[in-house]
Every structure is written in C-alpha cells, then in structure tokens.
Amino acid sequence: MNNSNTSAPLPSENEPRRSSTKRIAGLLILIGLLIFLLWAGLKSWRVYQATRSLMALEPEARSLMSGGIKALNPDAAEALVLRAREDIATLHSELAIVKPLTPYLGWVPRFGPAITGAPYLLEMADAGSEAAVLAVSSLKPALAIIQQPDFGAARMGELLPILSNAAPDLQLAQDSLDRYSAAREGLNSVVEIENLPWRVRQLLELSDQWLPIATDGIRLAPGLPALLGHDGPRNYLILAQNEDELRATGGFITGVGVVTVQDGRIIDLSFRDAYQVDKWAEKPYAFPPQPYYDFLGLELFLFRDANFWPDFPTSAQKAIDLYVYGQGGPQLDGAIAIDQEFLRILVDAIGPVPVPGTDQTINADNLLKTLRAARDIQEGQEVGEWVGNRKAFLGGFAAAILAKIETDFGSIDPVRLARNMTGAAENRHLSIYMTDPNVAAALAENGWDGHIPPTAGGDFWMAVDTNMGYNKVNIFIERAFSYEISLEQSPQALMSIQYRHTGPASDEPCLQGVEEEFEQAAEYLALADKCYWNYLRLYVPAGSQLMESSRHVVPGDTMISGKTWDRGGQVADDLPWLTTFSNFMLVPHAAETTVYFRYQLPPDILESVNGETVYRLSIGKQPGTSTEPTNVSIILPDGAEFIGADPMPTQVEGNRIVYALDLTSDVSLIVRYR
C-alpha cells in the first residue's frame, strides 16, 4: 500500500500582487473618502457662512429702510443687495447637488415640508436677488434725485432719461421676477404654506405683499418716458365716473377733463360737465346701443354714455372718438377712467388737500361727503343756474389736487403713492388706455388697462350692471354671487346673483325719470333713495349655451317708455370674443331679487396635463364696485380624485370643491384632478 504524502499548497506567485492591489484599493478608497469628507465639509462651511451672512443682512436692511425711501442711502442699498445676491448665489450653487433628493424627504419630522419646498425657495431667492440687483443698480441715479431737498413736480423730467437708460436692465429684472413667480407657484403645488416654518411663512407673506407692486413698477417704468411726454406733449382724456350710478366701466361719466403732460409735468388741465361735450343740436349722432334705447329711451349715442362696454379699451376709444367729434382739439393719446373711490385712495396717499378760495380741506375721510355736498344746489342759487354749473366743483377739486402735487410734492411718500395706485388699478377703480402700442402692452400685462381677454382653454365669468334708473341708487345696492359648475363631459354652470336694496322701506312708487334732478334740484341722497332699474350682462366663454334663466317683470308704468318688460334671460350681441347673457330687472326699496342663468359650457374649458385634468376659472370684477361676497362650488366628475388647487379651497366635501371669496379684484382659480 502506497502512502501518498500531502503537503500545503505552495503560495501562488500572484498572491503578493493581489495583496498589493488590495492595499492600493483600500488606500484609494480612504483617500476618496477623505476627499469626499473634505468636499462635503467645505460645502457645509460655505453654506454655513452664506447663511450666517444672509441672516446678518436682515437687521442691516431693516435699519437701512427705517427712515423710508427718502432717507435710504443709495450706495449702501446697492452694496447690501449685491452682498445678498452673492450669498444667495452661493447657496443656490452649493445646494444644487441635493435638490433631486428633496421630493423624497417630506417624511422628515418637523422639517419635511421645508425640505420638499427648498428647491423652489432657493429659486425664488436666486431670482428675487437677481431682480433686486438689476433694479437697484439701474435706478440708483433716480433715487439720488428724488432724495434732493428741492425735488418736486418741476424736476420730474430729470427722471425720464434715467428710466430710458435703465430699460434693458429693467427688462432683465422683469424676466427674473417672472422666474420668481413661477417658483412661487411651484412651491404652492408641492407644500401647504401653513406647514412651513414660521419665519419662512413670514417672508412669503411679505414677498406676496410687495411682489405685485414691484412687478407693476418694473413693467411700467420703461414706458413712463413716453407716457409722461419725454419726446413731446401727450394729451389724455380723463373720465370722471360716478359709481353711485353704476355703468360698465365703473360709473356714469359725470365729468371729463383733458390733461397735457410734457417732460413729466402737467402743463395743462381742464374739466367740464360731460353733458357739455356733445354738439347734438349741430351735428348728427349715431343711434345708441339697443339697451340704451329700450330701457332709457335714448335715441342718440352721446359722450356721457360712451362706456357701454366693460372692455375698457373698447369704451375708451369710443369716448375719445365722441369727445373729438364734439369738441375738436388736439390729438388724444389715451384715456384714464377714475371714480370717487380712486380720489379717496389718491388723497389717502398724498395727504390732506386744501381747496383754494374756500376754508375746506379734503382728506380721505371726508372726500365722498364733500363731493356730494358740493354737487347740491347752494343757498340762494337759482335752479337754472345750478343745472348749468352743478359740476363746476370737479374743476376746483382737480386744481386743488394738482396744486398739492406741484407745491408740496416733498411731503408725499412715493412708496405709499405707488402702493395706493397699484391697489386702485387692481381693485378696478383706475383704468388706463393708451394708443402707444408699447405702453399699451405694458398696461395690459399689468391688468391696468381694464381689458377683458378672450378665454383660452379655461372658464370665465364677469357680471356687469348698468343702472338704467337715472338715479344714484347704487349707494344702497349690494350684490352676492353664487357660482356652481359641474365638470362632466359637457360642463354645466349655474350663476345666481342676489341683489339687496339696503335703503329704507318706502311707499313711494318706482318711477324712472330725471325730473327730480333737473327740475326740483333734489339733494344727492334723495336721488340715491330710489328703486333700481338694472340691465345685467353676464360674460362667459364663447360657445356657451343658455339652458334656463330667471324671469323678471318690470311694469310699464314704472318706465319712461311705458313698455312692460316680462322676459327671461337673453343672448346679447356684445363683445365678439365672449358669449353674453342678459336680463333687465327692477329692485324696489328695501327689496331683494335673485337672478340666475343656467348654461352649458364648451368642453375645451378643461385641459389635460400629464394625465391630470386641469380646470381654470377667471372671475372679472366690475369696475366701480366694492367688495362682493362670492361662493364658488366646483363639482368633480363621479370617481374623480382631487389632486390639488391654487389657491387652496375653503372646503373639500367629497367631490365638491368650495371657495368662499371676497371679490375685491379679478380672481383666478386652478383645480387639478384625475
């Protein structure tokens, strides 16, 4: 038997090489780990330093702004925004690598919403700081002029070339603000704002407050030189509208002025009664829109009734044409519509205004009362004299406001003035139409021109009243809206409008007419305590079909025409890019009336995006109206899943999305579902 000897295997000649390779690999991993830790530490240090620097800027910014814009150091302001921009750019760059991970970290206790929203917050900070640097650097010379002790209306022309030179940078700043707005909308889509940290919410509230003013100002600034006559005089028609007698663009045109501006200064301003514009006894005039004939008995289309259409560019151009037809004069470069509330907002910004030749001082609290009292017949005045001069006070008020601006401009806070004017335009107490296409485009983009855009792939409604009673009853009229839409394959909507006459009950019969104003010289409030004859128009997307509506009776013995109105809703021939439903009604003293329209909407109001259905609703606010309660109910199809909305609804009840709104300006809603 052979015994075989077994021995341990001899080491392979490759073993030392493998061992060496492992040591090298381990060393490389260690070096890589050290490099990564060094890189991560460096990034963390940069983020930490940038964050600390930004936090240190906040008290510095508050101190810098504490004295208002007139005490703001232009150089210090520029240096501050440049430093903030540098810190934010550092954060934006250093944190870019972790952005793809943030959508998956919403579960992190306490900080989940902030982490999820971080990419959008960083984008907002980056875009906002970029816009600030561009705006501050390009407008710094203008700030230096405004801060001069002798700065006033006479030096406004010095700002115009600065604005012209700043136009390229301001366009870039506008692009940055558009990027900011897009990021703000994106933030709303991924987190609920109330779940963010308190400090972030506070900053968002502040930015939401100032963003519209900044956006409007930067959009308009490049067009201001042309608007203010830098290259020659500009003549603008001023339409003084009275919202107590509501019309489509804000109120009955009670007075009209022409203002001429050149090099930033008002070089001429005149006002007159709107009744004095037309030369109807000397020239032929066209037939008016049919409702004026049917409900007011008018046979001529005169200047005072030019604002028939709620689309302000349409009505403004008609007003310009009729003014030039009646008065001749220089070319008019645009029209500006204001109402009594606008004057109150303006006086609130510029401060108390003494009225020359009187012991009166107008302020924001007494303006409406003063306007109404000035219109009434004065002691010892004959009715005939009063009828011809009852609106002469408009010229005096306009001259007083102009004198305040020209002689005491230094006392006016420009930030407050800008904020008030922006608010007046957004709340539809100021509309501006310009014939210059570049300026008109900027105004349209801001929503200051009062245009009603075509509905492109979305829902829209706007309710427009026209007082047909020859009175000022809108002082006592309140409206409330209820809109319900069912988003089935063929969407259907129900619009209900409740009218309430808040004046005292009266046994006085409802009689349409003008005798009390022109023959009896009735006081202003007596003209308000009347019944409400109202021609209502509801503007909806083109292609909508009226299915059902309320029926209203207006007795013929209440009408100048003697004709009784007894009909349901009508389809009116009005703005060609929208469908218009209409009706006529009477609301007696202390009474309530409800009007409704049920209609089918075109299917293209719904949009399909990435497997979701998107419903967009825009609501137009009628100019001249105050805040109006508005309830919107959006009923999703059976089995649909609600994904989200902007803004978030007041309530979600199953497949019913509910909004309880106060309509102070135009509103846009977006609802997503699948």
- Give one DSSP letter per residue of 114-144, joined into a string: HHHHHHHHHHHHHHHHHHHHHHHHHHHHHHH
End-to-end CA separation in angstroms for the chain = 86
CATH no. for residue 291? Answer: 3.40.630
Q: Report if residue 142 sits inside a domain.
A: yes
Supply 633's token pair: 């109910």
Q: Report if residue 286 sits inside a domain.
A: yes
How many domains are contained in the chain?
3
Residues lower than pLDDT 70 in the chain:
1-51, 54, 375-393, 456, 514-522
**Residue given tokens 């209900």 in the structure block:** 496
**pLDDT given for residue 386 in this prediction:** 47
Beta bridge partners of 657: 634, 652
Q: Give how far Cα 565 sits from Cα of 57, 293, 596, Å.
A: 68, 13, 17
Q: Are strands 612-620 and 565-567 parallel, antiparallel or unpaired?
A: unpaired
**pLDDT given for residue 636 in this prediction:** 97
- Identity of residue 640: A
Q: Are residues 382 and 517 in the same domain?
A: no
What residue numbers bound the domain in which 48 lies? 40-227
Q: Are residues 78 and 94 in the same domain?
A: yes
Nearest residue to 241 via CA among 157, 304, 310, 327:
304
Overall size of the chain counted in residues: 674
Q: Report if residue 32 sits inside a domain.
A: no
Instruction: Print burial letters for 524-562: b (CB count within 10 Å at least 16), e (below 16).
Output: beebbbbbbbbbbbbbbbeebebeebbebebeeebbbee
Supply 577's token pair: 């890019």
Q: Are residues 239 and 182 in the same domain?
A: no
Query: Tens of pLDDT along 99-143?
Result: 787 887 788 787 788 888 888 888 888 898 899 999 999 998 988
Query: Tens of pLDDT along 69-100?
Result: 777 888 888 888 888 888 888 877 777 777 78
**Which runs of consecutive H residues, i.e. helices, occur in 360-431?**
367-375, 383-389, 393-407, 414-426
Nearest residue to 139 via CA among 220, 234, 232:
220
Q: Which of 421, 446, 471 is the last residue of a domain?
A: 446
Q: Are residues 173 and 304 in the same domain?
A: no
Q: Are residues 401 and 271 in the same domain?
A: yes
**pLDDT given for residue 467 in this prediction:** 98
Q: Report if residue 155 sits inside a domain.
A: yes
Q: Would you list the DSSP string of 156-215?
A: GGGHHHHHHHHHHHHHHHHHHHHHHHHHHHHHHHHS-GGGS-HHHHHHHHHHHHHHHHHH
Q: Are residues 79 and 52 in the same domain?
A: yes
CB under 8 Å to 31, separation ≥6 — which residues? none
- Spatial separation of the C-alpha atoms in residues 495 and 461, rounded to whole Å: 9
CB under 8 Å to 504, separation ≥6 — which residues? 529, 589, 590
Supply 656's token pair: 């019913």
**pLDDT given for residue 521 in this prediction:** 54
| pTM confidence score | 0.85
Supply 182's token pair: 């897009």
Q: Report if residue 12 sits inside a domain.
A: no
Q: How many CB atoms lie within 10 A of CB 36?
A: 10
**pLDDT given for residue 1 in this prediction:** 47
**pLDDT given for residue 48 in this prediction:** 56
Q: Report if residue 496 sits inside a domain.
A: yes
Q: Are residues 120 and 265 in the same domain?
A: no
- Identity of residue 207: S
- Spatial separation of the C-alpha atoms in residues 618 and 536, rounded to whole Å: 19
Q: Which of 198, 227, 256 is the last residue of a domain?
A: 227
Q: Are strands 334-338 and 234-242 parallel, antiparallel or unpaired?
A: parallel
Distance of CA 310 to the CA centre of its chain: 16
Between CA 324 and CA 460, with CA 317 as vertex, the angle to 5 degrees is: 160
Q: Give how far Cα 252 sits from Cα of 274, 275, 338, 471, Å.
A: 10, 11, 11, 10
Q: Are residues 131 and 56 in the same domain?
A: yes
Q: Are residues 191 and 46 in the same domain?
A: yes
Nearest residue to 225 via CA among 436, 408, 413:
436
Nearest residue to 54 via CA among 139, 121, 110, 135:
121
- Identity of residue 423: G
CB under 8 Å to 613, separation ≥6 — which residues? 487, 606, 607, 640, 672, 673, 674
Q: Which of 412, 446, 480 is the last residue of a domain?
A: 446
**pLDDT given for residue 39 in this prediction:** 43
Supply 344's token pair: 């109150």
Supply 390's token pair: 């009852």
Beta bridge partners of 431: 337
- Spatial separation of the C-alpha atoms in residues 302 and 278, rounded to whole Å: 7
Q: At CB < 8 A and 24+ separation, what contacts does 648-657 make?
A: 648/192, 657/633
In 487-622, the DSSP E strands lie at 492-501, 532-541, 545-549, 552-554, 565-567, 570-572, 578-587, 592-600, 606-609, 612-620
CATH no. for residue 611? Answer: 2.60.40
Supply 227's token pair: 């608007």
**Residue given tokens 């793809």 in the structure block:** 100
CB under 8 Å to 13, separation ≥6 — which residues? none
CB under 8 Å to 185, separation ≥6 — which residues? 646
Q: In degrees rounded to 5, what are phi and psi of residue 422?
A: -60, -45
- Spatial separation of the C-alpha atoms in residues 379 and 386, rounded to whole Å: 11
Q: Are residues 597 and 614 in the same domain?
A: yes
- Spatial separation of the C-alpha atoms in residues 258 and 239, rounded to whole Å: 9
Q: Report if residue 333 sits inside a domain.
A: yes
Cis peptide before 629 (omega within 30 of 0): no
**pLDDT given for residue 112 in this prediction:** 82
Q: Are residues 98 and 213 in the same domain?
A: yes
Q: Are residues 398 and 502 in the same domain?
A: no
Supply 313's token pair: 């560019």
Nearest residue to 539 via CA among 428, 451, 462:
462
Q: Report if residue 261 sits inside a domain.
A: yes
